[in-house]
């Protein structure tokens, strides 16, 4: 499945033309994401690659994100994937409430590639340790923070909140992802 992200109307981006996301869910609780950015890639701030591992505050610069929740309930998870190879996972009890850093999550594969006017990030996540997500349909929000070379940021998503950019807003969980 391929989905398109759009920039929030309040945060246009000169460097990026499109962001597409390919996704696949694998049994029992895997998620594969491929973010493809087209445009003036040299005009973006992409963090330098380092050893893969967990880190916080990745959203402060170019970062790709996935938000997951089950069909019922207010709780959800946020996953941040940085061009630096760093990643983060957070659990919430409700809208921006009760944030934790859950165990049982791993990014098992992460690669990046730049080819002229194309940037690609591929990541595979093992979510088996999140027992509340293991079965059934997931509601999914996909997003990206894009920082241009001059420091301007744009916020891209499948669907946007009505006012300012807010990837946690219920409106951002715009796609139903069925079990593998």
Tens digits of residue pLDDT in 96-122? 999 999 998 999 999 999 999 999 999
Average pLDDT of the segment spanning 142-170: 97
Q: What percent of the chain has pLDDT over 90?
A: 84
Q: Is the dihedral of CA 153, 6, 106, 71 positive or negative?
A: positive
Is the pLDDT at 32 greater than 80? The verdict is yes
Fold observed for domain 2-177: Immunoglobulin-like (2.60.40)
Q: How confident is the model over 117-152, as pLDDT tens digits?
A: 999 999 999 998 988 876 778 999 999 999 999 999
List the chain domain ranges: 2-177
- Quote the pLDDT of residue 99: 96
Q: Tokens 């997951």 label which residue?
A: 68
Extended strands (E) in the chain: 2-7, 16-26, 30-39, 53-54, 63-70, 76-81, 86-92, 106-115, 118-126, 138-147, 153-157, 175-177
* Chain length of the chain: 180
> Which residues, including other chains, have CB under 8 Å from residue 57's CB and lie 6 or more apart?
none
Taking the C-alpha atoms of residue 146 and residue 179, their distance in angstroms, rounded to an integer, is 30
């Amino acid at each position: 499945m391929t989905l398109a992200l759009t920039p929030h109307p309040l945060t246009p981006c000169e460097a990026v033309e499109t962001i597409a996301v390919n996704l696949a869910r694998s049994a029992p609780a895997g998620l594969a994401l491929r973010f493809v950015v087209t445009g003036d890639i040299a005009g973006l701030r992409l963090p330098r690659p380092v050893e893969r591992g967990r880190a916080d505050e990745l959203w402060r610069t170019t970062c790709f994100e996935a938000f997951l929740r089950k069909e019922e309930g207010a709780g959800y998870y946020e996953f941040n994937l940085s061009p630096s190879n760093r990643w983060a996972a957070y659990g919430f009890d409700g809208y921006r409430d009760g944030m934790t850093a859950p165990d049982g999550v791993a990014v098992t594969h992460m690669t990046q590639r730049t080819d002229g006017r194309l940037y690609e990030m591929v990541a595979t996540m093992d979510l088996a340790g999140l027992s509340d997500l293991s079965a059934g349909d997931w509601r999914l929000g996909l997003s990206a923070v894009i920082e241009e070379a001059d420091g301007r940021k744009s916020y891209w998503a499948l669907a946007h909140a009505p006012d300012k950019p807010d990837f946690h807003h219920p409106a951002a969980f715009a796609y139903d992802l069925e079990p593998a």
